[in-house]
């Protein structure tokens, strides 16, 4: 497992919780002693335009620094995807998040859809034909679902559950019936019992990671990666990310 990161992700580019000071550092200090960290590079305009309109890109460009850091986040997702296709599981420790960014709109602390861009690039380059996106964030990734609506080669799944057991069972059931060339996790951690969702325990993230690893090894030659979405309690965020990575490794 490799971590894709860049110190520029530590910049406070807006006033929302995803950009809060110390958020990225709280994760990095927990995971960096255990995994190799490789540096992200910005996505190119051609990568972003695979899923976003010129109007949307222009809108984000007018935000100055936000556009530059958003390009770097999308580039981190691309690198994580490329590592996974090359046989090395990877996690994009990136921000801003992306799953609320659609073809021509964004909200919810998102600007560019990092996950969708990374999948679209793999498809364009012929490295995959099909993909599964498992979104474990508290919030539905309406942007990702919208971008791949009507694209049968890409399955987007946002599990639900009344409690952690049902939530994990729904993931297990979905993966038991899925087929793909790669599995990618939109990894939000705001369902944690000490975050906004108040449901999952830290060890549940390891279980989810193990389900992803098992699916990848069984179905898609081990090819798996994740990218950071939500998760806002800095006191528990690092250990939750580490738990998921331990399961996926």
pLDDT of residue 65: 80
Which percentage of the chain shows pLDDT scores above 70? 100
Question: Helices 65-85 and 54-61, interaxial angle, to 10°?
Answer: 120
pLDDT of residue 170: 98
Q: Are 174 and 136 in contact (CB under 8 A)?
A: no
pLDDT of residue 13: 94
Mean pLDDT of 46-65: 94
Rg of the chain's alpha carbons, rounded to an integer?
Answer: 16
Ranges 58-62, 199-203, 224-228: which has the least confidence = 58-62
Helix (H) / strand (E) containing 51: none
Measured between its terminal Cα atoms, the distance across the chain in Å is 6
pLDDT of residue 64: 79
Q: Is the peptide bond before 96 cis (omega within 30 degrees of 0)?
A: yes
Residue 20 backbone dihedrals phi, psi, to 5 degrees: -60, 145
239: number of CA atoms within 13 Å, CB side?
12
DSSP string, 51-66: TS-HHHHHHHHTTTHH
CA torsion 227-229-231-236 (nearest 10°) is 0
The residues that bridge with 184 in the sheet, in sequence order, are 133, 225
Residue spans per domain, the chain: 2-248
Q: Are 192 and 244 in contact (CB under 8 A)?
A: no
Local confidence band at 95 (pLDDT 50, 70, 90 cut-offs):
very high
Mind listing the pLDDT tens digit for each residue in 13-23?
A: 999 999 999 99
Local confidence band at 155 (pLDDT 50, 70, 90 cut-offs):
very high
Mean pLDDT of 125-152: 98
Mean pLDDT of 67-82: 98
pLDDT of residue 56: 97
CA distance 125 to 143: 22
Among 3.40.800.20, 3.30.750.24, 3.50.50.60, 1.10.3980.10, what is the CATH number of 2-248? Answer: 3.40.800.20
Number of Cβ atoms within 10 Å of the Cβ of 108? 20
**pTM, rounded to two decimals:** 0.98
CA distance 39 to 25: 15
pLDDT of residue 210: 98
Mind listing the pLDDT tens digit for each residue in 115-129?
A: 999 999 999 999 999
pLDDT of residue 63: 82
């Amino acid at each position: 497992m490799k971590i894709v990161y860049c110190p520029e992700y530590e910049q406070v580019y807006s006033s929302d919780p995803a950009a809060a000071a110390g958020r990225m550092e709280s994760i990095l200090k927990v995971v960096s002693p255990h995994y190799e960290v490789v540096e992200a590079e910005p996505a190119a305009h051609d990568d972003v335009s695979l899923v976003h309109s010129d109007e949307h890109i222009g809108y984000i460009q007018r935000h100055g620094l936000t556009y530059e850091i958003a390009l770097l986040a999308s580039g981190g997702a691309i690198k994580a995807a490329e590592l996974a296709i090359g046989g090395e599981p990877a996690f994009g420790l990136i921000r801003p998040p992306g799953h609320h960014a659609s073809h021509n709109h964004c909200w919810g602390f998102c600007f560019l859809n990092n996950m969708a861009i990374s999948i679209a690039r793999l498809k364009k380059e012929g490295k995959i034909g099909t993909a599964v996106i498992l979104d474990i964030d508290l919030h539905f990734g309406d942007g990702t679902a919208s971008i791949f609506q009507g694209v049968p080669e890409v399955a987007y799944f946002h599990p639900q559950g009344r409690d952690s057991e049902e939530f994990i069972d729904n993931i297990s059931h979905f993966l038991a019936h899925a087929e793909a060339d790669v599995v990618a996790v939109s990894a939000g951690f705001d369902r944690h019992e000490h975050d906004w969702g108040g449901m999952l325990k830290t060890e549940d993230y390891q279980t989810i990671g193990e389900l992803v690893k098992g699916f990848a090894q069984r179905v898609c030659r081990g090819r798996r990666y994740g990218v950071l979405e939500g998760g806002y309690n800095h006191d528990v965020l690092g250990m939750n990310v580490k738990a998921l990575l331990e399961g996926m490794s």
